[in-house]
Amino acid sequence: MAVNAFIFPGQGSQVVGMGRDLAAAFAPAREVFEEVDEVLKQKLSRLMFEGPAEELTLTENAQPALMAMSIAVLRCLEKEAGIRIADRAAVVAGHSLGEYSALAAAGTFALADAARLLRIRGNAMQKAVPPGLGAMAALLGVELDAAESICTEAAEGPDGHEVVSVANDNGGGQVVISGTATAVDRAIEIARGRGVKRALKLPVSAPFHCALMAPAAEAMREALAGVAVNAPVVPLIANVTAAKVTDPADIVAKLVEQVTAPVRWRESVATMTALGVTRFIELGAGKVLSGLARRIAPDAEALSCGTPAELEELAKHVG
């Protein structure tokens, strides 16, 4: 029998129209979207269903929207197909903001608290660095040690040391870097000079997962102190350690650290396979994480679920 890990996508997976068919087909999805709308005092679901894309992509909207989408899929699985994480998952994990989705799915956070936390997180991350001063770039066809070497060299600029570091080790030769715009530009040039297959700037509004996000980390420390945090029904594989965590205080500490630390996704997938996971099930928008899982753990099965048809297929497959 397959051993399942439920995984939850991060920023960049959002797309206009996500959740619309799910809400039309299933009451549990509608209930999730209505609760998040009410908590945030915003018709976030309308923005998800109808756009515009530029507004949905704003960090303060994309983060709670992606979480709402993931939890809507999960509630449909629970109530329509009888598939519960407590019974069917060995572990959960999520990429960056997806860690909050994973924790909401595992009962650590109430849905309303997860929505509020992600709105605070999105706002704080956006405000941490003035527009235009920070940047992120994807390096493709490079391994972690080579990317770290590129960042070390790029950090030394004509005016002294600048911030640039690995933000996401996504696996499959994909590493994302983050820092000041000038240092990221230098890193791209260095990478091209070293024969890196592709090095391109990402269309993001702030330099996530680097030291420049320190003010946002403090904002999350304060926000997390004000919510109930329960032990998850199954262990979380934490972004910052790529290791199991179940203690609520430890989870909070790692969520604060996560804002400035790299997402160790490649190692997280490796940890899950070492724990015996043979099937990765991505819940929510897009198929980014299931695609990465296939590249990192080619012997494991990887599925994604975000539409009524995919939900029906998953219910047959897992049920």
Query: From the candidates 95, 209, 268, 290, which is the catalytic residue?
Result: 209
Strands (E), 155-233: 156-157, 160-161, 164-171, 174-180, 198-201
H/E element, 283: strand 279-283
Which among 316, 318, 319 has a CA at the least distance from the CA of 301? 318
Q: Are strands 156-157 and 160-161 parallel, antiparallel or unpaired?
A: antiparallel
Q: CB-based burial of residue 131 (10 Å sphere; 0-12 exposed, 13-18 middle, 19+ buried)? A: exposed
Q: Which residues, at least 6 apart from 158, have a Cβ–Cβ distance to it below 8 Å? A: none
What is the rounded radius of gyration, in angstroms, for the C-alpha atoms of the chain?
19
Told to judge if 96 belongs to the known catalytic residues of this protein, a careful annotator would answer yes
Opening angle at CA 64, ends 62 and 120, nearest 5: 100
H/E element, 214: helix 214-224
Sign of CA dihedral 233, 116, 286, 29: positive
Query: From the candidates 13, 45, 70, 96, which is the catalytic residue?
Result: 96
Angstrom distance (rounded) from CA 175 to CA 161: 22
Q: Are 190 and 153 in contact (CB under 8 A)?
A: yes
**Eight-state DSSP code of residue 84:** -
Residues with catalytic roles:
96, 209
